[in-house]
Amino acid sequence: MDICKVHENASKCGVNAMECFMVLSTQAQKISIATLCGLFGTLCIFENSLVLYLIFSSPGTRRKPSYLFISSLALADILASIIFVCSFVNFHVFNETDFSKEMFLLQLGGVNTSFSASLSSLLLTALDRYISISRPSEYKLLMTRKRAWIALGMLWVTCATIASLPILGWNCCTLNSTCSELFPFVDNNYLSSWICFIMVLLGCIVYAYAHVLWRARQHVAYMEKHQAQAGKQNTRMRMDVMLAKTLVMVLTVLVLCWSPVLVLMIYSIFARLSNHLRKVFAFCSTLCLLNSMVNPIIYALRSKELYSSLRMVFSQLRRQLKASEESPEAESTRKSSMIET
C-alpha cells in the first residue's frame, strides 16, 4: 500500500510524513540519483566558478552590466548545486530524517532562492539586451553599473523573501491546510503561488527575447545590405546579435530542463500522484543540475570575451606546467656539471 497516500497512515507534520516522500525503492535507483547528482553537481560548481573567475579577473568584463547579470546567474547556479545535491542525496539516497521541519524548509528555501535568482538573473539579462538593441544610443545612460547592482540586490532580496515564506509560517502544518504531494510540509496554495511567480518570470523573459530576436533579425538584414559599411555601429550590432543568440540558447536549455518539473508540480495540485510519477519527479529534478552545468559551456562557446580569457588561462597553465617539467632537468644538468668540475 502507498504509505504516502494523502497521509492517511502518517501525521502530515511528523517524521513519518517525511519518510513517505522517500520514493526511491531500489538500490539501483539510489545509485543512479547519487551518480547524476555527483556528476552534474561537481561539473556545475567547477564550470560556474570558472565563469566567475574569468569575469572578475578581467577589468573589461567585470565593469559591464551584462556580465554582472551573468555573474549573478553563475553564483545562483553554484548555490543551487551545493544545496540541492547535499539535501537531495541526503534525503532520497541516505533517507536521512534526523532534522526538523524547520531545517527541511530552510534547505528547500535555499534551493528555491537559488533557482528563482537564476531565472531572475536571466530576466535582467534579457532586459539588458532589450535596452541595448531597442535603444542603443541611450544604453550606457540607462544601464549603469550602479543600477545593475541595485537591480541585483532587489532580485536576491525578493527571491529570498518569497522562498522564506514556508519557514515563516506559510506551510501546511502551521495553517493545518492541504499539503503538497511532492514536498513535505509545503502548502499547496504556496506551491501554486510559487509556480505562478516562476511562470510570470518565464513569460517576461520570453517576451523580452522575442523582441530581442526580432530586432536582431532586423540588424542582420541591415548588415547584409550594407556590408561595405564597416564601423563601430556594425560591430556593436554583431555583438548584440551574438549575445542575443547566446542568451536564447541559455533560455531554451532552461525551459527544456525545467518543463518536466513544472508540469509535474502543476499536475500534483489538481490530481493525486502515483508512486511512479513521484519517482519520475525525483529523477526530473536532477535536470536542474544539467541546466546549471550547460550554461557555462554556452558562455565559453558563444562569448568572445570569455572564450579569449579562457584561452589565456589555459595558455598560462600550459606554460607553468612546461616550466615545472623543464626545471628538474635543468637542475639535474646543473648538478651534474658541478660534479664533473
Break the chain into its structural domains and give their ranges.
24-306
Q: Is the pLDDT of residue 60 over 50?
A: yes
Asked whether 237 and 222 are in contact (CB, 8 A), the reply is yes
Superfamily covering domain 24-306 = Rhodopsin 7-helix transmembrane proteins (1.20.1070.10)
Q: Cell 492517511 identifies what position?
A: 8
Q: From CA 336, how far away is CA 168, in angstroms rounded?
A: 73
Tens of pLDDT along 321-330? 888 776 655 4
pLDDT at res. 294 = 87
pLDDT of residue 39: 92
Rounded to an integer, the average pLDDT of 21-49 is 89
Given this model, what pLDDT does residue 271 score?
Answer: 86
Tell me the pTM. Answer: 0.83
Q: 3-state DSSP call for residue 100?
A: coil
Provide the CA 321 distance to its chain's centre, in angstroms: 33
| CA–CA dist 318, 290 (Å, integer) | 29
Which pLDDT band, with edges at 50, 70 and 90, does 207 fall under? Answer: confident
Listed in sequence order, the DSSP H helices in the chain are 15-19, 27-56, 59-62, 65-92, 101-134, 139-142, 145-168, 172-175, 188-225, 232-270, 275-285, 287-302, 304-340
Cell of 75: 553564483
Q: What is the mean pLDDT of residues 147-164?
A: 94
Share of the chain above pLDDT 90, in %: 28
| Four-point Cα dihedral 167, 170, 173, 177, nearest 10 | -160
